[in-house]
Amino acid sequence: MVDNGKKAARHSPDGYLATAEGRAMSSETALLQAVLAHPLDGDVRCIYADWLEDRGDPRGEFLRVQSALAHPPENYEARVALHIRDRQLRETIELAWIRQLGYADTPTPLVDLQVPRRVIDLLSVLAAVNHQATPLLQRGEELVVALAEPSAGAVRELRQETGCRITTTPVWENEAADAAAAYYAAWPPGGGGAPVVVAAAVETSEALRTSTLASEWLRTLLREALRQGADLISLEPLDRAFRIRFQCQGVWREFDTPPPQIGYNLTAEVKRLANLEVDDSSTPHRGEIEMLLDKRPLRMQVETLPTAGGERVRIHPTRTRLLNEAEQA
């Protein structure tokens, strides 16, 4: 045996020599085939991990973390540190390789980590739900938080609330909201009612989050329209998608496609800014938006038109203003 769980293997001029089988394995293909041929042999996996780590490949550390997680330590700090590292490494490794070796597609869910109450209490329920955040581990002045969207603003707010240096770790799919609801409903401060409060906060937070994303999308596409000198911006709901196009000197160009839910909220955001009836999508409307974009004034004419797929919106920036702003950018 060698340190850090490395099994009996010695270097040869061609690579590794697995002493248990007495044969040299010099390529990754041979090592991988040996692992697949002996899936329960931990020694073979450790030899493969050695080979990968010697080449600076993070998959080597991933194999060691998986080996440790197969027999996790009883101490919470040590155990959750392994789970945190597992999440971080998965961000850098191809899923196909993980599947090939028989590991789960996703890490252990946050709700299954059994985070202690003393760690959960470091974050208020509102902060946890608003940011879809779950505190996992405190190490001195550092707090490791599973964060759905680790923006600089979210990290700053969590730092101000906790007084800790915030380190984030990846979140999979919808587990952040599930974890916030589970942990903060499981220990209701002062007794009943917490599950209802958390559920309401989750619903409100999701609505605010979607509205905020729509507002960010609008500002982003307006900046791009300014850059390209667009005459017309078209927001078009399709059957199962949402399309954004710019018309530049008679030529249509497609902008990035937002998720459908963001697209529909994008339409609502434009109508709100134009002082149009947001809930009325059955009749055409006309309006005007005057707003500041990056501290610069912008005026836009807005038209809405009901279609079979939903409400189409056309935005006509004032051409002279648009070109002047583009020249200043």
Residues 176 and 274 in one domain: no
DSSP-derived 3-state class of residue 288: strand
What is residue 185's predicted lDDT score, i.e. its pLDDT?
Answer: 59
Q: Where are the alpha helices (DSSP H) in 194-245?
A: 194-228
DSSP notation for 112-162: GS---HHHHTTS-HHHHHHTTEEEEEEETTEEEEEESS--HHHHHHHHHHH
Residues 224 and 316 in one domain: yes
Amino acid at 111: V
Residue 136 has pLDDT above 80, yes or no: yes
Please identify, among 100, 132, 150, the residue that sits at the C-terminal boundary of a domain.
100
Where is 237: in which H helix or E strand?
A: strand 232-237
Residue 179 has pLDDT above 50, yes or no: yes
Residue 211 has pLDDT above 70, yes or no: no
The answer as to whether 204 is a domain residue is no
The answer as to whether 170 is a domain residue is yes
Residues 163 and 91 in one domain: no
**Token pair in block for residue 91:** 């961000």
Where is 309: in which H helix or E strand?
A: none
Where is 253: in which H helix or E strand?
A: strand 251-254
When pLDDT is averaged across residues 19-41 and rounded to a whole number, the result is 75
| CATH at 294 | 3.30.450.90
The answer as to whether 299 is a domain residue is yes
Residues 82 and 130 in one domain: no
The answer as to whether 233 is a domain residue is yes
Residues 281 and 235 in one domain: yes
Which of 125, 142, 215, 136 shows the shortest CA–CA distance to 177?
A: 125
**Token pair in block for residue 179:** 């974890």
Q: pTM for the whole thing?
A: 0.51
What is the tens place of the pLDDT at every residue in 43-84?
999 999 999 999 999 999 999 999 999 999 999 999 999 999
- pLDDT classification of 2: cutoffs 50, 70, 90: very low
What is residue 51's predicted lDDT score, i.e. its pLDDT?
Answer: 94
When pLDDT is averaged across residues 197-223 and rounded to a whole number, the result is 63
- pLDDT classification of 207: cutoffs 50, 70, 90: low
- pLDDT classification of 22: cutoffs 50, 70, 90: very low
The answer as to whether 121 is a domain residue is yes
The answer as to whether 313 is a domain residue is yes
Phi then psi dihedrals of residue 36, to 5 deg: -70, -30
Q: Of 110-124, 204-218, 241-255, 275-289, which range is least confident?
A: 204-218
d(CA 291, CA 300): 9
Residues 86 and 164 in one domain: no
Residue 191 has pLDDT above 80, yes or no: no
Please identify, among 65, 81, 100, the residue that sits at the C-terminal boundary of a domain.
100
What is residue 97's predicted lDDT score, i.e. its pLDDT?
Answer: 96
- pLDDT classification of 151: cutoffs 50, 70, 90: confident
| CA distances in angstroms from 17 to 23, 50, 76, 324, listed in the order given | 6, 11, 37, 70
Residues 216 and 266 in one domain: yes
Vertex 113: Cα angle to 97 and 117 (nearest 5): 155
Q: Of 12-26, 73-87, 136-150, 207-221, which range is least confident?
A: 12-26
Residue 204 has pLDDT above 80, yes or no: no
The answer as to whether 203 is a domain residue is no
d(CA 323, CA 316): 13
Residue 101 has pLDDT above 80, yes or no: yes
Q: Of 96-100, 112-116, 262-266, which range is least confident?
A: 262-266
Give percent of the chain with pLDDT exceeding 70: 78
d(CA 133, CA 166): 11
Amino acid at 45: R
Residue 167 has pLDDT above 90, yes or no: yes
Residues 69 and 35 in one domain: yes
Residues 172 and 214 in one domain: no
Q: Which domain range does residue 172 map to?
A: 110-187
The answer as to whether 202 is a domain residue is no
Residues 57 and 86 in one domain: yes
Q: Work out the mean pLDDT of the chain and round it to a whole number.
A: 79
What is the number of structural domains in the chain? 3
Q: Of 23-32, 68-77, 310-319, which range is least confident?
A: 23-32
Residue 16 has pLDDT above 70, yes or no: no
More confident residue, 138 or 278: 138
Q: Of 127-131, 152-156, 248-252, which range is least confident?
A: 127-131
Residues 34 and 68 in one domain: yes
More confident residue, 152 or 205: 152
Residues 38 and 87 in one domain: yes
Please identify, among 53, 78, 100, the residue that sits at the C-terminal boundary of a domain.
100
